[in-house]
Structure formats: C-alpha cells, structure tokens
C-alpha cells in the first residue's frame, strides 16, 4: 500500500517581493501569496485530494499557506503539526538584507556561493546541508510513518527546507539539488512505495 506526500512551498511573501533574505524572519504573505496558496488548494480540491494530516513550519507564511489549502479542500480543522524543523534555511547575518545590497557588501561571487552552494553557510546561518540535517530526521520520524500507512500527507514549508527533502526523495547530489527551483504555491505530489522509495512524482501547475 502506497501513500501520498504533497509538498507545497508557501505563496509569495512580503520579503520575497522586496528581494530580501528572509530565512527565519516571520514575513507574511503578500496578496499574491494568499492567492497562490488558495489556487494550490483549489487545484488539489479539483483532483479530489483529502488529507489525513498536515505538517508546516512555525513561520506564518507557511502556516497560512497550509490553512488556505486545507480550507480549499474542506478540511479547515485537520490535525496540523507545526515544527521549526521545517523552517526555512537560516540566513544568519544576511536575514533582512536586500540581496542587491548584500552583493555590494560582500561581492557577487561570495553571495552567490552562500545562496547556491550546498555546504557553505552564510555568516551565522545554515547551509543547505545544515537545513537537511534537521529536515530529514523530522521527515523520517514524524512524516514518513503516516505515508507508509497509506495516508495522504500535506507538507507546506519553504524553498530550502523542501529542497533538502526533495534531495533525499529524488536521490540528488549536492551539486544537483542547488539547481532545483521550487515555484511558490505549486504542489509537488509524490506517491511512495511500501519501502519508502518514490513510485511517482508530479508537479501540478495551473
């Protein structure tokens, strides 16, 4: 019996719009972000998806995205686990800075390394590898058991926390995963085999 795992990156946030490094800062969704989350829910509802449990981070942009999706499928009160293990990558000293200003301060190449390398963290922050080191055990211990019981599970989180999870699911290398782009509000649907390997993957876009 295989279960279904649906990953959704939160809708556009206010700091996405302003081109700021966000990380663990608790930016809200923009009007467009709310619309993206609602559209993701509508897509899943049209396909008849209903969830057994949901997981999200403790940051409101992901929490609100999760709630919009649950509202759209008629499950507003579904059990939802909020955990900082699913938070966005911590950008440390870069958090709150405009990305263009950061390039002026540290140089294009250094900022690119911090943003797109797998294992080089920004000052005071996390690398993608560090992010995966907290996301993957949480997935294995808390999320995967539900999927292996044949349940349908929603995870609404962030670009890098989901990227690190996709790295493991898709068997990607560090060099490959940093090239993975996740659009805001676009569901990624995995069906897993009983041995936890991926049976199928589908990206659902409008």
Point out the residues that are catalytic.
10, 88
Strand partners, 98: 20
3-state DSSP helix/strand/coil % of the chain, to nearest 5:
45, 15, 40
Question: Cα(197)–Cα(179) distance, rounded to whole angstroms?
Answer: 22
* Residues 6 or more apart in contact with residue 110 via CB below 8 angstroms: none
Q: Which of these, 31, 90, 89, 29, lies nearest to 65 by C-alpha position?
A: 29
Q: How far apart are CA 185 and CA 48, in angstroms?
A: 18
In 10 A of CB 167, how many CB atoms? 23
As a dihedral over the C-alpha atoms of residue 183, residue 98, residue 88, residue 25, rounded to 10 degrees, the angle is: -130
Q: 3-class SS at 154?
A: strand
Helical (H) or strand (E) element with 153: strand 152-157
């Amino acid at each position: 019996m295989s279960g279904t795992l649906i990953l959704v990156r939160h809708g556009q946030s206010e700091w996405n719009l302003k081109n700021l490094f966000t990380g663990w800062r608790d930016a809200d969704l923009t009007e467009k972000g709310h619309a993206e989350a609602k559209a993701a829910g509508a897509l899943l509802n049209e396909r008849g998806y209903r969830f057994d449990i949901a997981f999200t981070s403790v940051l409101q942009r992901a929490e609100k995205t999760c709630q919009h999706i649950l509202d759209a499928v008629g499950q507003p009160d579904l059990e939802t686990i909020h955990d900082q293990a699913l938070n966005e990558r911590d950008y440390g000293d870069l958090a709150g800075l405009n990305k263009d200003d950061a390039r002026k301060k540290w140089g294009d190449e250094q900022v690119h390394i911090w943003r797109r390398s797998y294992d080089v963290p920004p000052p005071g922050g996390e690398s993608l590898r560090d992010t995966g080191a907290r996301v993957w055990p949480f997935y294995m211990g808390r999320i995967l058991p539900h999927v292996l019981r044949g349940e349908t599970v929603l995870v609404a989180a962030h670009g890098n926390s989901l990227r690190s999870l996709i790295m493991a699911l898709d068997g990607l290398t560090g060099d490959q995963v940093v090239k993975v782009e996740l659009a805001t509000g676009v569901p990624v649907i995995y069906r897993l085999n009983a041995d936890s390997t991926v049976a199928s993957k589908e990206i659902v876009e409008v």
